[in-house]
Amino acid sequence: MITSSIITIQNSSWVIDQQQLDWISALESGKVLHFKNLPFEISEKERILFNESIQNPSARNISLGADGLLKGVIGEEVTLDTLKQLILRFRNLSQDLIHSLVPKYAEYLKVSPTSFRPLNIESRQQSWRADDRRLHVDAFATRPNYGERILRVFMNINPDNQPRVWRVGEPFEKIADQFLPLIKPYSKLQAKLLNVLGLTKSFRSEYDHMMLKIHDAMKSDISYQKNCPQAQFNFMPGDVWVCFSDQTSHAAMSGQFMMEQTYNLPIKALYEPQSSPLALLTSKARRKLV
Ligand code: SIN
Ligand code: FE
């Protein structure tokens, strides 16, 4: 099935045996690739993990770092071990998927933490800025990335047949046209200050400033949230979906228990670098942004 923003793929193996340029092109132009039939068994032993209370209340989610360190979880040794194995299984399968879906990325992919998200989205209380039920493109206040891409693999593993309900918004270029004129100008001085004070992990570039301000401007605009072109989609348990979350406007409206793998990817790994947010913002600003 092809809707304008989501492409459903009926592959039944995490290893794609034939490279499909139209899928790659769709992904790089900001669409979501949705895999309906990828096998992922949850064992009897893993059922103890389907419990909100294994997440540390002060953590945003549970994650396994590339260094093998588990964060944000509370529980007995056996729970932690079971969880680590589940996350590792998903991490390995995600890698199989991306390596075979987009072989050119393989040598460039940087593996970021893999997360397990046991909280019910609807019952979370969050500030508007942190609220992912509002459409946004991903941009992180403390971690400038200089245009490097954020590629994410998601899987709904809800045991009670509950969908993860997403909204997907309009193409990045439309978002940039709408919000760029509204954001406050970049200040190198302020970026230096943020860095010196340790509020950013490295110097915030003009690109990072723009992405962050676009993220905030989208989330804070109630009328945009309601009225912009968008499609709602139910990702059912077992569904896997992939997108560049720095480019695809997305919002997670409801659901519980999801796995997520983040990768960072340098622009040079892309087939169509001209569709990247960095290229689009640079051509609109007509100056170097990083
Ligand atoms: C997000 O990346 O904004 C949230 C995704 C989700 O929780 O489904
Ligand atoms: Fe997001």
Each residue of 154-187: pLDDT tens digit? 999 999 999 999 999 999 999 999 999 999 999 9
pLDDT of 257 reads: 98
Ligand 1 geometric centre to CA of 48 (Å): 23
pLDDT of 19 reads: 87
Residue 88 has pLDDT above 60, yes or no: yes
What is the mean predicted confidence (pLDDT) over 12-38? 96
DSSP-based three-state secondary structure for 269: helix
What is the mean predicted confidence (pLDDT) over 199-210? 98
Whether the Cβ atoms of residue 105 and residue 99 lie closer than 8 Å to each other: yes
Ligand 1 geometric centre to CA of 152 (Å): 10
Residue 1 has pLDDT above 80, yes or no: no
Ligand 2 geometric centre to CA of 248 (Å): 9
What is the mean predicted confidence (pLDDT) over 88-111? 97
Q: How far apart are CA 228 and CA 238, in angstroms?
A: 29
The per-residue pLDDT of the chain, averaged, comes to: 96
Alpha carbon nearest to ligand 1 atom 3, residue = 132
Give the mutation target among 55, 115, 244, 245 for probing the ligand 1 site: most ligand atoms within 8 A of CB: 245
Name the residue with tokens 């989205």: 121
What is the mean predicted confidence (pLDDT) over 258-278? 97
Q: Which atom of ligand 1 is nearest to the CA of 136?
A: 3
Structural domains of the chain sorted by starting position, each given as residue range(s) with its CATH number in brackets: 6-285 (2.60.120)
Q: Which residues contact 250 (CB under 8 A, 6 or more apart)?
A: 32, 135, 136, 137, 166, 167, 168, 169, 243
Which residues sit with their C-beta closer than 6 Å to ligand 1?
117, 132, 164, 245, 250, 252, 258
Residue 206 has pLDDT above 90, yes or no: yes
Amino acid identity for residue 9 in this structure: I
pLDDT of 66 reads: 86
What is the mean predicted confidence (pLDDT) over 93-108? 97
pLDDT of 31 reads: 98
Closest CA to 243 of 123, 154, 161: 154
Alpha-carbon Rg for the chain in angstroms: 19
SS3 content of the chain, % helix, strand, coil (to 5): 35, 20, 45
Please list the alpha-helical segments (H only) found in 64-200.
77-101, 172-179, 188-196
CA atoms within 13 A on the CB side of 181: 3
Give the mutation target among 153, 250, 259, 262 for probing the ligand 1 site: most ligand atoms within 8 A of CB: 250
Q: Which atom of ligand 1 is nearest to the CA of 255?
A: 8
What is the mean predicted confidence (pLDDT) over 86-111? 97
What is the mean predicted confidence (pLDDT) over 76-98? 96
What is the mean predicted confidence (pLDDT) over 191-205? 97
Alpha carbon nearest to ligand 1 atom 6, residue = 252
Ligand 2 geometric centre to CA of 113 (Å): 15
pLDDT of 3 reads: 55
Whether the Cβ atoms of residue 62 and residue 72 lie closer than 8 Å to each other: yes
What is the mean predicted confidence (pLDDT) over 256-284? 97
pLDDT of 60 reads: 86
pLDDT of 260 reads: 98
Q: Which atom of ligand 1 is nearest to the CA of 164?
A: 8
What is the mean predicted confidence (pLDDT) over 41-45? 95
Whether the Cβ atoms of residue 253 and residue 178 lie closer than 8 Å to each other: no
Residue 2 pLDDT grade (very low, low, confident, very high; cuts 50, 70, 90): very low
Per residue in 221-232, pLDDT tens?
999 999 999 999
Alpha carbon nearest to ligand 1 atom 8, residue = 252
The ligand minimizing its distance to the Cα of 152 is: 1
